[in-house]
Amino acid sequence: MNDITFQAIGTIYTPHASLENMPIQPSGAAQTKGYILLKEEFTEGLKDIEGFSHLTLIYHLNKVEEHQLSVVPFMDDKAHGIFATRSPKRPNPIGLSTVKLTKVEGNKLFIEEVDMLNETPLLDIKPFFRQSDNRLQAVSGWLDDKHQNAVSETKSDERFI
Ligand SMILES: C[S@@+](CC[C@H](N)C(=O)[O-])C[C@H]1O[C@@H](n2cnc3c(N)ncnc32)[C@H](O)[C@@H]1O
């Protein structure tokens, strides 16, 4: 693979101190509060962000040590290809979470619905565009067979530690 170097633009702080028994997606972290401290040099880039209710965060799943191409995800007891899951042990351990934005104070963004470990390095922030990011008719493969609320009710376990 080609080497690509990214620098964190900030850090995401959350109440999740352990990889086990934490939410597996933002839908399982309703009202769970966290915040982002953006590096001060990027503060100008936040202009007009407070008009958005949700942000999509792209971050480094920094506690992943090795990848697996076949995984049994938290939501199933059968193996799937890593790219057909949201499991963290990816060749490029990048996480993607759409969270709620509640307040901005300088370089500090207050967020809710956080499903990442405390002190996760942040790579990018993108505003959520309801006009183009929603895909209400989307088909979700093996996950569609699961109970509708299962993603929000399921907690992580030891399988990707
Ligand atoms: C299933 S992944 C989904 C993350 C993101 N919402 C996504 O879809 O890319 C969420 C799990 O990744 C693990 N995790 C969270 N933050 C992490 C980090 N900084 N390093 C490694 N694993 C992490 C936790 O076990 C958490 O339950």
Percent of the chain residues past pLDDT 70, beyond the cut? 99
The class (CATH top level) of 10-129+137-153 is: mainly beta
Other beta carbons within 10 angstroms of residue 115's beta carbon come to 23
User: What are the residues whose beta carbons fall under 8 Å from the beta carbon of 118, sequence distance 6 or more?
Assistant: 13, 14, 15, 16, 17
Pairing of strands 10-13, 120-127: antiparallel
111 band by pLDDT with thresholds 50, 70 and 90: very high
Please compute Rg for the chain using Cα positions: 16
Q: Confidence class of residue 138 from pLDDT cuts 50, 70 and 90?
A: very high
Give CA–CA dist 40/56, Å, rounded: 20
Do 49 and 108 form a contact (C-beta atoms < 8 A)? no
What pLDDT sits at residue 77? 92
Pocket test for ligand 1, best of 56, 116, 161 (most atoms within 8 A of CB): 116
- Band (pLDDT 50/70/90 cuts) for residue 10 is very high
First to last CA, the chain: 24
Averaged pLDDT, 19-45: 96
The confidence score (pLDDT) of residue 114 equals 98
Mean pLDDT, the chain, rounded, equals 96
**What is the structure's pLDDT at 150?**
86
Which residue's alpha carbon is nearest to atom 10 within ligand 1?
A: 24
Q: What is the dihedral of CA 92, 56, 74, 79, to 10 degrees?
A: -50
> Does the CB atom of residue 161 touch ligand 1 within 6 A?
no
In this prediction, residue 5 carries a pLDDT of: 95
Q: Read off the pLDDT band of 147 (50, 70, 90).
A: confident
- Domain edges within the chain: 10-129+137-153
pLDDT of 146 above 90: no
| Mean pLDDT of the region 24-29 | 94
Mean pLDDT throughout 3-11? 96
Asked if residue 115 has its Cβ within 6 Å of ligand 1, the reply is yes
Over range 23-43, report the average pLDDT.
96
Task: Please report the atom of ligand 1 found closest to the CA of residue 24.
Answer: 27
Distance CA 105, CA 150 (A): 35
Rounded Cα gap, residues 29 and 44, in angstroms? 29
Residue 64 has pLDDT above 80, yes or no: yes
Query: Per-residue pLDDT averaged across 109-120, rounded?
Result: 98
